[in-house]
Amino acid sequence: MQIERCGKPVIAAINGVALGGGCELALACTLRLAADTARLGLPEVKLGLIPGYGGTQRLTRLIGRGAALRLMLSATIIDAAEALRLGLVEEVVPAADLLPRAHALAETIAALAPLAVAGVLEAVERSGSSLEEGLAAEARIFGRLCGTEDKHEGLTAFLTKRAAVWKGR
């Protein structure tokens, strides 16, 4: 999915019911926040289908094989608290606070070094391979970032106790 490879963090703000494709769309996002009233699930087996937009793969990688199989094979729909406990969402907030919290998180991330943020996403994307390959990718990305203007700006800003001004170079 393009969401996963756009090079920028994508935050899902889940409010209401996210079943099937809606849950799969959220699974493709970088981070998932849920309203305390949200409900999530991949109940496609009730329709004689399987999750068809990456749900079997993303859910398993996110919450583990056993928990993912339990949810998908039983067509269980879970509430936000259970989604948080399983690691399907990173945060649960009151419904009225969902969009302000998602915007605040996005603003926090956007205020950081854009090349470093993209580097974290790239390194984590590579973590699906072997540990050795993931560590090698991390080292390459770290080395690439060491030569950037943003790295110099970040260190200078830290040492002079001022806010960094990122240029994405």
Sign of CA dihedral 111, 117, 118, 119: positive
Q: Of residues 4, 24, 138, 153, which has the active-site annotation?
A: 24
Q: Of residues 4, 44, 91, 153, which has the active-site annotation?
A: 44
Query: Rounded to whole angstroms, what are the CA distances from 149 to 18, 103, 113, 152?
Result: 42, 28, 10, 5
Active site residue 149: no
Instruction: Provide the 10 A C-beta neighbour count for residue 49.
Output: 11
Sign of CA dihedral 8, 52, 13, 30: negative
H-run or E-run covering 39: strand 39-41
Helices (H) and strands (E) in the chain, counts: 8, 6
Which residues on neighbouring strands pair with residue 39, listed in sequence order?
Answer: 17, 79
Residue whose entry in the numeric block shows the structure tokens 């949810």? 71
Active site residue 82: no
Q: Catalytic residues, which ones?
A: 24, 44
